[in-house]
C-alpha cells in the first residue's frame, strides 16, 4: 500500500510554469484566473476538481488482480495525486464466455471487505453492506472526483477468446454486456464499456477469421444497446505490411465508438530471447528497427489512412519496461541470452522499480532505454512521455491512455507527465 497523501504532495514546477505562461498569454493577473471559470463550472467546482486539459482524454487501466500480490487499491489513485489528473478509468477485465459478458473475479470486484485505512472514504466496510470490493471503492472515488468516467473493460490478452463466438449474435452479446455493466447491484457506477478484443480477424492467444467488418459490426451493436453511454475499444498498433491493422476496417468501427485506444507498446521484448534489443514502445522509426511498421507513428498513420478521425485516437503508454539479460551493448540492437529478471514475470518490470534499479542511460525513437550490468531495459520516463504527448497534440489525437496505474511512481509522475503534456 502506498502511503503518500495527495494533500502532502508538493506542487510540480511544470504546472506552475504552464499557469504563468497561460496568464501571460491572456494578459491576465493571477486574480484574473477566476474569470476563466464558466458559470456552470463555478457551480460544481470542488477541492478535488479536475485539472485535465479540456477535451483531452487521460485514461488509465485499473487491473482487477492488482489488489492481490501488488497490493494496489483504488485509494492509491487518490494518494498518488492521479485522481485529480485522469479523466477516465478502464476497469480490467471482465470475461467473454458463452456469447456473453461475465464477471472476471467476483471477490475482487464486489466482495472483498475494505478496512478504514484501505478505503477511499476512510470508512470501513461492514460484512452486510450490499456492495464491497473494487466496485464500492470506485463508487467512493467517483463521489469524490465526479469528473472521472469509469468503464468496464472486457477481454484483454487472456480473455479475448470468447469474442468470436459472441459475435455470432452481436445483439445478444451487446445486451448481455449492457445488463451486466448496469446491474442494479452497482447501478450508476459505470459510464460505459470498453472492448479489448485481441484481435478481431487476427491472432492473439487464439485466432479469429470473422472478416474485416466484424469489429465495426460489434461496435455498432454496442452503440445501439448502450445509447448515450460510452462505447470504446482498445486496438492493435501493428502497422506492418499485411499486419493486424490492415485486417480490420477500423474507420467503420470508429463511427460507433467514442474513442479507440491504440496499444502502442509491446512491439518488442524478450520473447525474442537472443535479441536484438529494441525499445518496446518506439514512437518513430530508427536505424536498426527490427520490424517496419512497429512504431506509434506508423500505427496512427495507418489508422488515419483508413479514415479514422484523429480526435478518436488515444496514444498508448506502458507504465513498465521490457528487458533482456546477457547484454553487453548499451545502444539498441545488441544480442542477449534471455529475459531480464522481473518482480512478477521475467522480461517485464514496473516503471517505479526501474527508475531507481536501472535508470535510463539513453533515448531512441522517442522513448528511453537503460543498460545496467548485463541487463538492457526500455521504458518511458516522464521526459519521454512529455515528448509523446507533444507529438499526440500536434497530430490532433484525442489524448492518451496507459497500462496501468500500479506501475507508476508513488507520486504519479507518469500520470502527471501525460496530464502536463496534453495541457
HSE of 327, CA atoms in CB hemisphere, 13 A: 30
Residue 270: closest CA among 222, 320, 220, 197: 320
C-alpha to C-alpha distance for 142 and 404, rounded to whole angstroms: 19
Q: Among all residues, which ones are annotated catalytic? A: 198
C-alpha to C-alpha distance for 297 and 301, rounded to whole angstroms: 6
Interacting residues of 17 by C-beta distance below 8 A, sequence separation 6+: none
For the beta carbon of residue 102, count every other beta carbon within 10 angstroms.
Answer: 16
Give the cell for residue 193.
464499456
Alpha-carbon distances, residue 362 vs 153, 191, 352, 376, 385 (angstroms): 35, 41, 18, 11, 14
Indicate the angle between helix axes 382-394 and 413-422, nearest 10 degrees: 30
**N-terminal to C-terminal alpha carbon distance within the chain:** 30
CA dihedral sign, ordered 44, 49, 53, 55: negative
C-alpha to C-alpha distance for 204 and 193, rounded to whole angstroms: 21
What SS3 state is found at 377? strand
* Contact assessment for residue 134 and residue 64, using Cβ atoms and an 8 Å cutoff: yes
CA dihedral sign, ordered 79, 81, 82, 84: positive
- Residue 187, classified by CB atoms within 10 Å of its CB into exposed (0-12), middle (13-18) or buried (19+), is exposed
Amino acid at each position: 500500500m502506498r502511503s503518500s497523501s495527495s494533500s502532502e504532495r508538493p506542487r510540480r514546477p511544470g504546472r506552475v510554469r504552464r499557469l504563468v505562461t497561460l496568464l501571460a498569454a491572456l494578459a491576465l493577473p493571477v486574480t484574473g484566473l477566476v474569470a476563466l471559470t464558466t458559470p456552470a463550472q463555478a457551480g460544481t467546482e470542488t477541492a478535488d476538481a479536475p485539472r485535465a486539459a479540456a477535451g483531452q482524454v487521460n485514461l488509465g487501466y485499473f487491473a482487477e488482480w492488482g489488489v492481490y500480490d501488488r497490493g494496489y487499491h483504488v485509494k492509491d489513485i487518490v494518494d498518488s495525486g492521479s485522481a485529480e489528473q485522469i479523466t477516465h478509468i478502464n476497469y480490467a477485465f471482465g470475461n467473454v464466455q458463452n456469447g456473453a459478458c461475465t464477471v472476471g473475479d467476483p471477490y475482487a470486484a464486489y466482495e472483498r471487505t475494505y478496512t478504514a485505512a484501505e478505503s477511499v472514504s476512510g470508512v470501513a466496510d461492514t460484512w452486510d453492506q450490499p456492495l464491497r470490493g473494487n466496485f464500492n471503492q470506485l463508487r467512493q472515488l467517483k463521489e469524490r472526483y465526479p469528473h472521472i468516467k469509469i468503464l468496464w473493460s472486457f477481454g484483454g490478452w487472456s480473455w479475448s477468446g470468447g469474442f468470436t463466438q459472441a459475435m455470432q449474435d452481436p445483439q445478444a452479446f451487446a445486451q448481455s454486456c449492457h445488463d451486466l455493466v448496469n446491474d442494479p447491484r452497482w447501478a450508476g457506477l459505470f459510464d460505459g464499456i470498453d472492448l479489448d478484443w485481441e484481435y478481431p480477424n487476427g491472432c492473439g492467444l487464439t485466432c479469429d477469421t470473422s472478416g474485416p467488418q466484424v469489429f465495426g459490426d460489434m461496435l455498432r451493436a454496442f452503440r445501439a444497446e448502450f445509447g448515450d453511454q460510452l462505447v470504446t475499444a482498445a486496438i492493435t498498433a501493428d502497422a506492418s505490411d499485411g499486419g493486424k491493422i490492415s485486417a480490420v476496417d477500423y474507420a467503420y468501427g470508429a463511427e460507433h465508438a467514442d474513442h479507440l485506444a491504440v496499444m502502442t507498446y509491446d512491439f518488442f521484448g524478450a520473447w525474442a530471447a537472443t535479441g536484438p534489443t529494441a525499445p518496446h514502445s518506439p514512437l518513430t522509426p530508427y536505424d536498426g528497427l527490427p520490424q517496419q511498421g512497429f512504431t506509434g507513428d506508423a500505427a496512427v498513420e495507418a489508422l488515419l489512412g483508413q479514415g479514422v478521425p484523429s480526435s478518436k485516437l488515444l496514444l498508448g503508454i506502458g507504465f513498465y519496461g521490457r528487458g533482456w539479460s546477457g547484454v553487453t551493448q548499451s545502444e539498441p540492437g545488441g544480442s542477449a541470452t534471455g529475459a531480464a529478471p522481473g518482480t512478477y514475470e521475467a522480461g517485464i518490470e514496473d516503471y517505479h522499480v526501474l527508475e531507481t534499479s536501472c535508470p535510463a542511460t539513453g533515448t531512441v525513437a522517442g522513448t528511453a532505454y537503460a543498460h545496467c550490468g548485463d541487463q538492457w531495459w526500455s521504458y518511458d520516463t516522464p521526459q519521454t512521455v512529455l515528448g509523446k504527448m507533444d507529438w499526440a497534440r500536434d497530430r490532433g489525437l484525442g489524448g492518451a491512455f496507459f497500462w496501468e496505474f500500479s506501475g507508476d511512481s508513488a507520486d504519479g509522475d507518469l500520470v502527471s507527465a501525460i496530464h502536463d503534456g496534453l495541457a
